[in-house]
Copies of this chain bind each other. A is one copy, B any other.
Amino acid sequence: MTGSINVIGYALATLGPAIGVAMIFSSAINGIARQPEARGALMGAVYIGFAVVEALAILGFVLAFVIR
């Protein structure tokens, strides 16, 4: 059996952030559908939330290279 267990580690690290970012955008889409004029106020919170959740997956990507 070859390969590195770090790849499985990164794979598991995408599970939560992928669902999380989808939840954030999903809420934003529902909110914009209900009140299109609130779009500007919404998207500020969306971008902050997206950045901090996506960062968790990117840290897993970095970790797979750094740790041996």
**By the criterion CB–CB under 8 Å, are B68 and A2 in contact?**
yes
Task: Name the interface size band of chain A.
Answer: 35 or more
A-B contact pairs, 17 of them (CB 8 A): A2-B5, A2-B68, A3-B67, A4-B68, A5-B5, A7-B63, A10-B13, A10-B60, A19-B23, A21-B22, A21-B49, A22-B53, A23-B23, A26-B27, A27-B30, A32-B33, A57-B59
Residue from A28, A41, A67 whose CB has the most chain B CB atoms within 10 Å: A28
0/1 interface trace, chain A 41-64, chain B, CB 8 Å (1 if under): 111011011101110110111011
CA distance A26 to B29 in the complex (A): 10
Given A23-B26, A24-B29, A36-B41, A65-B64 contact (CB < 8 Å): no
